[in-house]
């Protein structure tokens, strides 16, 4: 075999250094194989023109259209004071709309000769607005001449691939580069086992690559897509199946609760009955804890569905069995809050070794980075001796100094906020791998759970505990209906008068450091010429204006931890009426008396984040109210997002909307593997069936051949997917 297989050939050898450099820097494409897997976004039919009527603003577009009119104007300018400046205005049409193209200066000569009325071409550029009309300034273009022997029919019917492009490299230049490398597709090793491919009627990989880049018919495109989706789903599921298989070989200490131990004592005192969902999920967890290989379970539950209670019962089961349990929280505020609520729930069962402690009691310690030296020393001692059965902390738990007597269970709260390295470091603290329970309040559609958390078994809590109240949500359009905003502040006052409390959430803190950061503006900010609203400014304006006379306080991530905790305690005790905060309150903050939330610049937050924030109200018996304040116009995508959040309390529905809008990031973790998505063809939401079937096939193949010795091409594909960073990511999953 050649020393460099055809698909690993660097692009600079094949296409020349200039083009290869742009492809590497702007599209992340380095080899012939990378380019072959850069699929068209869509196809244009020469005879079926793009709709100019619905061009998106500020995006790079490619359109196929006909020149209707071309005029050359001269004008005076600072560069050409004698009226020698030249501007070429070309109007193109596709039957649905018209679009103006403009060329200036020396750039007018070539298009003036070539873009004559009646000429058809592909045009690419960034859509902008001038004099209230859409235009493309200096677009790149390619004339569509059609070879002489091509009949009009085949010419009109030909499918032109339109590739994801950049300002530096237009779609048809990518198309030309692909023409050069396409013969190498014949060398592509097929990762799908033959019987699987034939059983599902899928074309071979070389054929799929040819058909996706050079289709003759729409059926070609469908066949190619069906095959390439299977590749992505299958290779990824094989990676996850191997991960699960390897985990199942690891030894772990089975942890079974004693019939008369601390768990039984805790259950006996509960002032309420567990929901059906809590009981079912607890049984799944206890069954996993009793096995001799480590549990890897994802517990997802709506905001307020009682995940903490399920996690606490799992931790008590492990303490019963003589082990220790650690709960990792993403912020100090949350760690302190979990610590408080666990001690409240356990009562004297949390007073191990103290006067007044119950017979079966254990010690529950808190460990965070900002603790005083003496308290920290004591906590470390309690962990090392086994005196403390439960520890709750931030990533301070991961430091080398922290030693456990016998770590049996790790509970990770809000998984998406922890790097995999952190989770891995904590798991390394057990003498044998501890059991792992990952909790998230961000609902994850089933297929995403099968891909992102495919190495974890999944449990879902979808009932709310009795006594929870509904939350009414409304979008407040501050720009065109300022009286709605005034009414929002009146509603907050009304809630406070009834003896309740309220949150006001802002995207920014608003101190000086923050000001420096605010200079890096997103395109949305540029469009609005206004930085996002800030906690410190908003709190001051509210206290002086619409909420004058109420007790207003602030909470944000850069406050010293003790100050944060003091503010939360005052708010929980009812000594603060309105808390103006950043998203530091997003997760886990529990104040049942808070009934109203006003989210300022709500369009700056993601759908799932808004849903999380909203879950902070309506936690008691009084109904909750969430007002989403925005200045975005009615028709904007941002407003559609907010309307979706206001229209449903179903987190799973919202997570689908969120995912469809953001498109899938890299399912193997964005931070861990750069920004290029490993999924180019598969849509995690739409291709549920493919993913589910691929998962079954992968499990079957890995069970019979864990090292894939009989499937070398699949191994190669797996190695390509799991470059080192991703491999580590899965290793540490």
Angle ∠(51,641,516) on CA atoms, nearest 5: 105
What confidence tier does 45 reach under pLDDT thresholds 50, 70, 90?
A: low
Calculated CA dihedral for residues 253, 257, 258, 259, nearest 10 degrees: -150
Over residues 344-356, the pLDDT tens digits come to 889 888 887 766 6
568 versus 453: the higher-pLDDT residue is 568
What confidence tier does 518 reach under pLDDT thresholds 50, 70, 90?
A: very low
Cβ pair 172, 142 in contact under 8 A: yes
Beta bridge partner(s), residue 351: 363
Q: Give the pLDDT of residue 421.
A: 64
**Is pLDDT at 271 greater than 60 in this prediction?**
yes
| Tokens coding 418 | 């922890």
Over residues 376-406, the pLDDT tens digits come to 999 999 999 999 999 999 888 877 788 999 9
Range from 42-51, 216-225, 238-247, 397-406 carrying the lowest mean pLDDT: 42-51
Q: Give the pLDDT of residue 80.
A: 57
Cβ pair 630, 601 in contact under 8 A: yes
Q: Which residue has the tokens 């044998």?
A: 432
**Is pLDDT at 513 greater than 90 in this prediction?**
no
156 versus 261: the higher-pLDDT residue is 261
Range from 98-102, 139-143, 564-568, 571-575 carrying the lowest mean pLDDT: 139-143
Angstrom distances, CA of residue 612 to CA of 234, 303, 341, 442? 33, 7, 19, 7
Q: Give the pLDDT of residue 578.
A: 94
Residue 129 has φ and ψ, to the nearest 5°, of -115, 135
For 384, other C-beta atoms within 10 Å of its C-beta total 14
| Tokens coding 213 | 């880049």
Those residues with Cβ within 8 angstroms of residue 233's Cβ, 6 or more apart along the chain or in another chain = 682, 687, 690, 691, 693, 694
Q: Give the pLDDT of residue 415.
A: 56
Q: Give the pLDDT of residue 382.
A: 93
Tell which residue, 379, 383, 364, has the closest CA to residue 315.
Answer: 364
With residue 718 as reference, give the H or E element that holds it. Answer: helix 712-721
Q: CA 191, CA 195: separation in Å to the nearest integer?
A: 12
Cβ pair 560, 370 in contact under 8 A: yes
Q: Give the pLDDT of residue 420.
A: 58
Over residues 573-589, the pLDDT tens digits come to 999 999 999 887 765 56
**Is pLDDT at 169 greater than 70 in this prediction?**
yes
Q: CA 437, CA 439: separation in Å to the nearest integer?
A: 7
- Give the residue-averaged pLDDT of 553-569: 86
What confidence tier does 621 reach under pLDDT thresholds 50, 70, 90?
A: confident
Over residues 281-307, the pLDDT tens digits come to 999 999 999 999 999 898 988 766 788
- Give the residue-averaged pLDDT of 235-247: 87
Cβ pair 169, 23 in contact under 8 A: yes
The greatest distance separating any two alpha carbons of the chain, rounded to the nearest whole angstrom, comes to 99
Spell out a b/e string for 515-524, using b for 16 or more CB atoms within 10 Å of the CB, else e: eeeeeeeeee
- Give the residue-averaged pLDDT of 480-499: 91
Those residues with Cβ within 8 angstroms of residue 676's Cβ, 6 or more apart along the chain or in another chain = 28, 666
Percentage of the chain beyond pLDDT 90 is 30
Q: Give the pLDDT of residue 103.
A: 92
Percentage of the chain beyond pLDDT 70 is 81
**Is pLDDT at 521 greater than 50 in this prediction?**
no
Over residues 317-345, the pLDDT tens digits come to 999 999 999 998 888 888 888 898 899 88
Q: CA 270, CA 239: separation in Å to the nearest integer?
A: 43
326 versus 559: the higher-pLDDT residue is 326
**N-to-C CA span, the chain:** 36
**Is pLDDT at 514 greater than 70 in this prediction?**
no
Cβ pair 570, 595 in contact under 8 A: no
Q: How many C-alpha atoms does 377 have within 13 Å on its Cβ side?
A: 3
The mean predicted confidence, pLDDT, of the chain is: 81
* pTM summary value: 0.65
β-pairing verdict for 60-75 and 85-93: antiparallel
Q: Would residue 304 be called left, alpha or beta, if left means φ above 0 and alpha means ψ between -120 and 50 degrees?
A: left
223 versus 468: the higher-pLDDT residue is 223
| Tokens coding 230 | 């299977």
- Using a 10 angstrom Cβ sphere, with 0-12 exposed, 13-18 middle and 19 or more buried, the burial of residue 419 is middle
β-pairing verdict for 324-328 and 407-413: parallel
């Amino acid at each position: 075999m050649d020393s460099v297989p055809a698909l690993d050939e660097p692009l600079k050898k094949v296409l020349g250094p200039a083009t290869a450099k742009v492809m590497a820097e702007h599209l992340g494409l380095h080899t012939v194989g990378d380019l072959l897997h850069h699929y068209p976004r869509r196809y244009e039919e020469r005879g079926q023109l793009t709709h100019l009527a619905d061009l998106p603003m500020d995006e790079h577009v490619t359109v196929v259209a006909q020149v209707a009119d071309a005029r050359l104007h001269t004008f005076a300018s600072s560069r050409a004071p004698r009226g020698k400046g030249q501007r070429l205005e070309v109007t193109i049409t596709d039957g649905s709309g018209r679009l103006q193209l403009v060329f200036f200066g020396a750039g007018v000569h070539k298009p003036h000769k070539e873009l004559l009325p009646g000429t058809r071409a592909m045009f690419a550029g960034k859509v902008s607005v001038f004099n209230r009309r859409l235009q493309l300034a200096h677009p790149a273009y390619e004339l569509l001449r059609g070879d002489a022997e091509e009949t009009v029919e085949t010419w009109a019917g030909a499918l032109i691939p339109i590739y994801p492009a950049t300002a530096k490299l237009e779609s048809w230049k990518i198309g030309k580069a692909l023409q050069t490398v396409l013969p190498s597709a014949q060398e592509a090793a097929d990762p799908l086992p033959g019987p699987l491919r034939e059983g599902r009627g899928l074309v071979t990989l070389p054929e799929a690559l040819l058909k996706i880049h050079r289709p003759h018919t729409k059926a070609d495109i469908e066949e190619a897509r069906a095959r390439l989706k299977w590749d992505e789903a299958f290779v990824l599921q094989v990676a996850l199946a191997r991960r699960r298989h390897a985990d199942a070989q690891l030894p772990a200490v089975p942890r079974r609760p004693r019939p008369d131990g601390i768990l039984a004592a805790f259950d006996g005192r509960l002032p309420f009955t567990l929901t059906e969902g809590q009981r079912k999920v607890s049984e799944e967890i206890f069954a996993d804890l009793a096995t001799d290989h480590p549990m890897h379970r994802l517990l997802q539950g709506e905001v307020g569905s009682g995940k903490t209670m399920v996690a606490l019962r799992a931790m008590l089961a492990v303490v019963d069995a003589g082990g220790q349990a650690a709960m990792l929280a993403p912020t100090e505020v949350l760690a302190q809050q979990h610590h408080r609520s666990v001690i409240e729930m356990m009562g004297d069962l949390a007073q191990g070794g103290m006067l007044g402690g119950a017979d079966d009691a254990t010690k529950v310690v808190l460990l965070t980075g900002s603790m005083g030296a003496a308290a920290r020393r004591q906590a470390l001692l309690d962990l090392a001796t086994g005196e403390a059965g439960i520890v709750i902390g931030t990533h301070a738990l991961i430091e080398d100094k922290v030693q456990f007597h016998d770590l049996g269970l790790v509970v990770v709260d809000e998984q998406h906020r922890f790097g995999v390295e952190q989770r891995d470091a904590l798991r390394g603290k057990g003498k044998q791998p501890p059991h792992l329970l990952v909790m998230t309040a961000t609902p994850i559609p089933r297929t995403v759970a099968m891909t992102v958390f495919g190495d974890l078994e999944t449990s879902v809590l979808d009932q709310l505990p009795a006594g929870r109240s509904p939350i009414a949500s409304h979008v407040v359009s501050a720009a065109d209906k300022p009286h709605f905003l005034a009414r929002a502040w009146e509603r907050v006052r009304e809630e406070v008068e009834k003896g309740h409390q309220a949150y006001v959430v802002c995207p920014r803190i608003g101190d000086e450091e923050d000001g420096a950061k605010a200079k890096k503006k997103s395109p949305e900010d540029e469009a609005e010429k206004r930085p996002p609203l800030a906690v410190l400014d908003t709190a001051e304006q509210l206290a002086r204006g619409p909420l004058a006379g109420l007790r207003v306080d602030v909470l944000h991530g850069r406050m010293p931890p003790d100050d944060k905790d003091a503010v939360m305690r005052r708010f929980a005790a009812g000594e603060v009426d309105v808390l103006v905060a950043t998203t530091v309150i997003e997760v886990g903050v529990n104040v049942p008396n808070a009934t109203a939330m006003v989210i300022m610049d709500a369009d700056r937050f993601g759908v799932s984040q808004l849903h999380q924030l909203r879950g902070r109200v309506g936690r008691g018996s009084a109904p909750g109210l969430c007002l989403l304040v925005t200045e975005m116009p009615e028709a904007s995508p941002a407003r559609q997002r907010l309307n979706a959040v206001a229209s449903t309390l179903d987190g799973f529905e919202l997570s689908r909307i969120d995912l469809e809008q953001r498109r899938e990031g890299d399912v193997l973790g964005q931070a861990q593997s750069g920004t290029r998505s490993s999924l180019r063809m598969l849509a995690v939401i739409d291709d549920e069936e493919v993913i589910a079937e691929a998962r079954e096939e992968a499990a079957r193949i890995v069970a019979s051949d864990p090292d894939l010795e009989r499937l070398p091409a699949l191994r190669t594909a797996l190695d390509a997917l799991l470059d080192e960073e991703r491999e580590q990511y899965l290793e540490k999953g």
